[in-house]
Structures are given as structure tokens and as C-alpha cells.
Amino acid sequence: MTDPAAPSATGSASRAAALLASFAASGYMPAQPSILQPAEPFLDLSGEDIRKSLYLTTDASGDDLCLRPDLTIPVARDYLASPSAGKPKGFSYLGPVFRYRGERPSEFLQAGVESFGRNDLAAADAEMLALGLEATAAFSITDVEIRTGDVGLFAALIGALDLAPVWKRRLMKDFNRKISLAQDLQRMTLATSASRSDYQGVLAALAGSDRKAALALITDLISIAGATNLSGRTNAEIADRFLEQSTMAGGALPKETVAAIERFLTISGEPDDAVAQLRRLAADAKLEISAAIDLLETRIGFMAARGLDIPTIRFATSFGRGLDYYTGFEFELHAKGNGSEPLVAGGRYDGLLTRLGAAHPIPAVGFSVWIDALAQAGDAA
């Protein structure tokens, strides 16, 4: 066990320890990241919404620190600081994390696996799902609902469509926030013009600008105005909003473009059927997204090779886990009838290590296991 904390029940403790041992036997060596972590990576990579659930403090130099709210980012930071950085390496962990959860305990055990540096992406994805299912089996949970998706498919779709960069950024950001995404699509469908004459000059100046140029202009304007009350928005958020408005001033997107996005988001069901639907969409809309679909199909093949019952897996193009750093395959394992709370969840996050300071992109995929939820579901089974 990598941390002194343990589940309250002796049976849960022994099963959690056995689970960690099984991960190590599969080549994922135990990691022991520090409990106290810099807060910035969590706020930057998980979004400001996580701030209200963090336990924050400040050191003598004024740096924000927090009790780790999960273990993926701490394990990734330690990997980058090690001699193995950039090389294929796998880690497992079991220890306490700290996050405000309302009436539930704020300190709870998390186990998991992180795999860095593997270039066989589809095989690594399938291995994570198989290991995640081993975690549920270790707690005698056999009736498991497997929910999967792939944000990489949505990124490929958005990249293939004729969209302004500001809309591509906005849609990717809102992918996991389905209400916002629906609102985005509605705005993109409506013909609009800049109705706020106060901003006409700014919108005209931003027309055709990229995000860097827009940010520079907005920063200069705010500085000149001496503005101090910006409703909590950063300069970058304000620049994105003005870019969005300047883009919308050019008129609505073609209905067929919005229709392609909406059709994409309705695709769900058995993985093989989803592949067929995606290929039909790509052909009908003349979109070059074959590489992303091929990766999905290859991943399904590796899952089948591991003995997973493919027809029982649910795939949905709209499925997402609500974290900006995911870049590809995502999954959650639920006990049948347990609602929206997953027992095991994870996915591919190839962009995370670069954002944490890696000089070059490093493939990464992993998952987390909530021991208390597993123990409770196992007792109820």
C-alpha cells in the first residue's frame, strides 16, 4: 500500500491492497506522490469550478498549495521529474485524496493506474478498460455497465468542418457541458449581426484576428481604460467573447454544418454499430475523419482480443467526463442501477504532460478507482 490510510472495513482494506498488488503484477509499479501539491495545475487543467472543492493553503512565499484532490496530476508530475520522463512507464497507486463532497466524507481512498509514453494507443486504451474491470471484479461486482466515448472523434469532426478558430475552441471547451454546447449550436444557426453599437469598433478591429492578436488588443484596451471590475473574467475570456461576437457578425453557419454536428452527437449504441454510423456520416457530409474512426475500430478489436463482450459496451459520441485535458478514449464503469456516480473512470489525456511542462507530447492514458464506492456497491451486490 502506498499510503498509510486504509478503508474502514477490514475486508475492503484487504481487497484494495490485493487490487494494488494485481496492478503491480501487470507492470504498473506503485507510486507515492506527495499529499500536499501546488494548486495551480489543478485549477488550470481541471477548471476553476474545482476551486470550491479544493482544500487550499498558502506557503510563506505566497504560492497556493492544496491537498491533492486526485492522483493523476501528482503521478504525472512525479513522472516528468524522474529519469524515466518520455519513456514508456506505468504506475499504480492507492491512497487518500481530499475533496469537498457535501455530506460525504472529504477524505477518501482512490486507487488507479497511469500509463505514460506508449505509442500503441488503441492497445493501451483497451488495457485500461480491462484493468478497470478487474477492479470491479475484485470487489465482487459482476453486473457492470460500461459507458465509453472518444473526445478525439469530436475533435476530428470539428477540425474537418469549415469553422472559424474561435468556434472550434468554443465547441471543444463546451463539449462536456451539453447545455452550453446546445446553446452554441443554436447561436451558430441563427443569422446575427453586432447589435451592440458600443463594440462595433472593437469587433471590426478583431475581424479575421487570431486569438493571440485578440488577447493583445483586449489587454491594451483594458489597460488604457484602467478597468478594474471585469465581473471576474480574465482578459483571455473577454478576448474569446469578442472573437466569438466578431465571428457571429459575419452571419450564420450553413445549416448543413450545424446539422452534421447535431447528427454526430446523436450516434450511440454498440461500438461496432457506432463505427458504421460514423462512416455513413463522414461519407454523407464529405468529412475526412477516417483516421479517428479507424482508431476507434482498432480499439474495439483490442478490447475483443482481451475477451471483453463488445455488444455489452455502450458507446456514445456525446459522452465526456467533464475534464478539459482528455483528448481521446474515455470510459466509466457503473454498477447497474447506481445512477450517475461511476465506480471506475478514466481515459486518454495525451495533452496533459505537455501542459505540465514536458518539452514534447507524451501519450498518456489511465483511470481512477473509488474504493469506498466499490466497497459499498460490492456489499449491495
The dihedral sign for the CA sequence 301, 305, 310, 314: negative
Cα 347 to Cα 146: distance, rounded to the nearest angstrom: 13
CA neighbours closer than 13 Å in the CB half-sphere of residue 319? 25
Cα 39 to Cα 311: distance, rounded to the nearest angstrom: 41
Average pLDDT over residues 249-266: 80
pLDDT in tens, 61-112: 999 999 999 999 999 999 999 999 999 999 999 999 999 988 899 999 999 9
Same-domain status, 151 and 105: yes
pLDDT in tens, 239-248: 556 555 555 5
CATH code where residue 364 lies: 3.30.930.10
**Domain-located, residue 298:** yes
Final residue in a domain of this structure, among 219, 237, 255:
255
Same-domain status, 274 and 369: yes
Which range, 200-214, 263-277, 365-379, has the best average confidence (pLDDT)? 263-277
Same-domain status, 16 and 40: yes
Same-domain status, 149 and 19: yes
Q: Is the pLDDT of residue 378 over 60?
A: yes
Same-domain status, 81 and 182: no
Cα 292 to Cα 204: distance, rounded to the nearest angstrom: 37
Q: Print the domain residue range for 192.
A: 161-255
Same-domain status, 121 and 180: no
Please identify which residue in the block is written with the cell numbers 485524496.
Answer: 97
More confident site: 253 or 126 = 126
What is the Cα Rg of the chain in Å? 22
Cα 298 to Cα 306: distance, rounded to the nearest angstrom: 13
**Domain-located, residue 282:** yes
Domain count, the chain: 2
Q: Which amino acid is at 19?
A: L
Same-domain status, 136 and 185: no
Cell (9 digits) for 288:
475526412
pLDDT in tens, 308-325: 999 999 999 999 887 778
Same-domain status, 120 and 76: yes
Final residue in a domain of this structure, among 207, 232, 255:
255
pLDDT in tens, 332-354: 999 987 767 899 999 999 989 99
Question: What pLDDT, on a 0 to 100 scale, did the predictor assign at position 2?
Answer: 41
Question: What pLDDT, on a 0 to 100 scale, did the predictor assign at position 238?
Answer: 62
**Domain-located, residue 330:** yes
Same-domain status, 115 and 178: no
What is the H or E stretch that residue 257 is in? helix 255-265
**Domain-located, residue 148:** yes
**Domain-located, residue 2:** no
Same-domain status, 146 and 72: yes
